[in-house]
Amino acid sequence: MTRLKADSRHLVRFKLNGKPVEAEAEPRMLLSDFLRHQLGATGTHVGCEHGVCGACTVVVDGMLTRSCLTLAAQVDGCDVKTVEGLAPSADRLGALQRAFRRNHALQCGFCTAGILMSLDHYLSRNPAPTEEEIRDLLSGHLCRCTGYTPIIRAALEAALSATATEESSDA
């Protein structure tokens, strides 16, 4: 049993995009704030802070997670993935990110990190999604710029290119 006192800070450790990280947090500190303020990982954005907008979506232990509805203390010992982990290297975009750029699937970019995390997670488990499935997934995100159509196009294109790459490497 672990009881963390409300008025003091406690060490929280987890893996962030494969690398061990640690910092201190009060029990009430949200994972979204912990990522941004304690770890400086500002790729995760904070929108509504009650789980509706989806901007802060990350992946914890393979589960899509609203980081604003999760305490930093809850993910102690977990495996956390954020948008910073998507690009293969600092100067290259991943396939999904490239598809977003080609299709103008972002304008202001505020919602993009969360949407990328949802799509990356979903496409890794469902490599050949239908448009309807993508629309259902996107119902968990709000975007006020794009009207969603370019995001759907980018997602389907990324899925298609990933499948095509796999087929050609098989051959």
Partner 1 sequence: MKPAAFDYLRTENVGDVLEGLTQEGGNARVLAGGQSLMAMLNMRLAKPKLLIDIMRIKEFRQIERKADAVVIGAGVRQAELLAWPDLAEALPLVALALPWVGHMQTRSRGTICGSLAHADPSAEMPLTLVALGGEVHLRSARRRRRVAAKDFFAGMMLTARADDELIEGISLPIVRDGRFAFREVARRHGDFAIVACAAMRTPSGVRLAVGGVADVPTARDWPRLEGSALDDALNGFAYDLDARDDVHATARYRRDLVRMIGRDLIREVLQ
Residue 143 CA to its chain's centroid (Å): 15
* Entry field: residues in the chain: 171
The answer to whether residue 89 forms part of the interface with partner 1 (CB under 8 A) is no
- Helices 112-125 and 131-138, packing angle to 10 deg: 140
Q: How far is the CB of 167 from partner 1 (least distance, A)?
A: 27
- Lookup result for tokens 């087929």: 167
Q: Choose the binding region for partner 1 from 21-29, 80-88, 103-111, 156-164 (rule: CB under 8 A).
A: 21-29
Strand order in the sheet with 19-25: 19-25, 10-16, 79-81, 57-60, 63-66
For 63-99, the DSSP string reads EEEEGGGSBGGGGTT-EEE-GGGSSSBTTB--HHHHH
Among the residue ranges 24-32, 81-89, 93-101, 152-160, the one whose residues contact partner 1 (CB under 8 A): 24-32
Bridging pattern class, strands 63-66 and 57-60: antiparallel
Element (DSSP H or E) covering residue 134? helix 131-138
Cβ-based nearer residue to partner 1, 84 or 133: 133
**Token pair 């290259």: residue:** 92
**Candidate segments 35-43, 59-67, 91-99, 149-157, binder of partner 1 by CB under 8 A:** 59-67
Query: Binding partner 1 by CB under 8 A: which of 124, 139, 149, 165?
Result: 139
Given the rule CB under 8 A, which of 28-36, 83-91, 105-113, 161-169 is the region that contacts partner 1? 28-36
- If one asks whether residue 54 binds partner 1 (CB under 8 A), the answer comes out as yes
Residues contacting partner 1: total by CB under 8 A:
35
Q: Give the residues across from 63 on adjacent strands.
A: 60
For partner 1, which residue of 14, 16, 65, 146 counts as binding (CB under 8 A)? 65
122 binds partner 1 (CB under 8 A): yes
Binding site for partner 1 (CB under 8 A): 1-7, 26-28, 30, 33, 49-51, 54, 57, 63-66, 68-71, 73-74, 76, 118, 122, 136-137, 139-141
